[in-house]
Amino acid sequence: MASLTVFKFPTAGGADAMLSTLESMQKQQLITIIDAATVVWPEGKNKPKTRQLYNLAGAGALNGTFWGMLFGLLFFAPFLGAAIGAGIGALTGSFADIGIDDRFIKEVQAKVTPGTSALFLMSAGVVLDRVSEALKGQNFELIASNLTAEQEAKLNEYFSESES
């Protein structure tokens, strides 16, 4: 089962650092990265820069349209005004089926701000204890995930213990 997880980092380079770690873990067959995208918002810039991991929609990779629509909705639509309000409403309705609802949108918008970064990760086959161990010491916040409640609680518990 694939899961979509969003991590927020207090630095502009945090998302790329974690993605590099996860790619290394994929080579060890501890996680399967179906697709990923990063959002980097440099301090002093008006909007973030986005980058999709797989530029070509390969086997299992999400196409650029998905990421483009999601990031447009999260970071660029608030600047476009009321002229496209009805279209945005329809778009948010279609994303709700995969766990991207108004709460998710507002939470990501509030947390990913200038000077921060985020990693949007679509993954499967995670060896949770090994991946968690490898991510110890990386400073991040789990913003959203469609992991089961039990998996998400275990992940949050593990990282809150490792920070102590």
Of residues 25 and 35, the one with the higher pLDDT is 25
pLDDT digits (tens, 9 = 90+) for 44-60: 998 888 888 865 444 44
User: 52 pairs with which residues across the strands?
Assistant: 37
Q: Which residue type is seen at 16?
A: D
Q: Note the pLDDT tens digit of each residue in 60-77.
A: 445 556 666 677 667 665
What per-residue string of b and e applies to 67-99 under the rule 16 or more CB within 10 Å gives b? beebbebbbebeeeeeeeeeebeebbeebeeee
The ranges assigned to domains in the chain are 3-163
Confidence of residue 118 (pLDDT cuts 50, 70, 90): very high
Judging by DSSP bridges, how do beta strands 32-41 and 116-124 pair with one another?
A: antiparallel
The pLDDT tens digits for 129-162 are 898 888 888 899 988 776 566 655 665 554 454 4
Distance between CA atoms of residues 82 and 105, nearest Å: 17
**What's residue 101's pLDDT?**
65
- Residue 46 DSSP label: S
Percentage of the chain beyond pLDDT 90 is: 26
45, containing H or E segment: none
